[in-house]
Amino acid sequence: MKSSTKLLVATTILALLAPSLRAGGTLKEARDTWLKGNYDEAQEIYSALLKDAKLRVPASIGLSKALQSEGEYDEALGVLDAALKDAPKDLDLLARRAELLHYRGQWDDAEKTAQKVVAEKEDHFLARYVLAMLERERGNLAAADEQFRWFVRTYTKRNNDDKDITDADELLLVGLAAAEYARYHHQSDQFDFLVNELFPDALKKDKLFWQAAYEPGRIFQEKHNKAAAERAYTRTLALNPRAAEVF
């Protein structure tokens, strides 16, 4: 058999196997694929996982993020709305929906949805962060300041109680909120803590979590440390070469 024919056969076999491999993917595999910037493949894995009722909620959230990464906001929202028909009271779905509505500028709906979540679970990080950002963007700085302060206090209290936050996504939200709080109160030492401890800690929790490498770059750039910012952005692109935020 000629080498070209062998290559064609091998390619065909892989193509036939690919759907079954994706169908057998896990939530971690899907998330890792998304974080690496392989958005189409991540969408396929998440879509396959939707068939499992036990995984439908986290798979829907993941799929919405993978779609958002390619600017498909309508499709992302549609995935969440479809999942909410089966689980209308799921707080994580509602919070993710509030986040997406906020991105799209639908502030009233975003606020209403996030408030619904916080009413049921006061310490839901994502819903609280959405509310904080809405206050900031509406110019309600005192209210925003209080919302951002909640994250700082919660992080400190859990640390003091030996109940450290271990979820990378939650650590990222704490870092983002703490940065806003530091800006309001001119706490330069807080930025040192964020770039040297908190964001690196989030990256340790999830070694592919490029967002935790990206945010220090933004802070360095804000502080006019271009060399450090470039190093952070380069590290981010090493994790996800398709991270549009960096470009």
Q: What is the mean pLDDT of residues 46-57?
A: 97
pLDDT of the residue at 24: 58
Separation of alpha carbons 244 and 58, rounded Å = 24
Q: What percent of the chain has pLDDT over 90?
A: 90
107, 53, 101, 54: which is closest to 80 by C-alpha? Answer: 101
Separation of alpha carbons 142 and 216, rounded Å = 26
Q: What is the pTM of this model?
A: 0.89
What are 132-189's pLDDT values in tens digits?
Answer: 999 999 999 999 999 999 999 999 999 999 999 999 999 999 999 999 999 999 999 9
Q: What is the mean pLDDT of residues 201-225?
A: 97
pLDDT of the residue at 32: 98
Separation of alpha carbons 103 and 129, rounded Å = 12
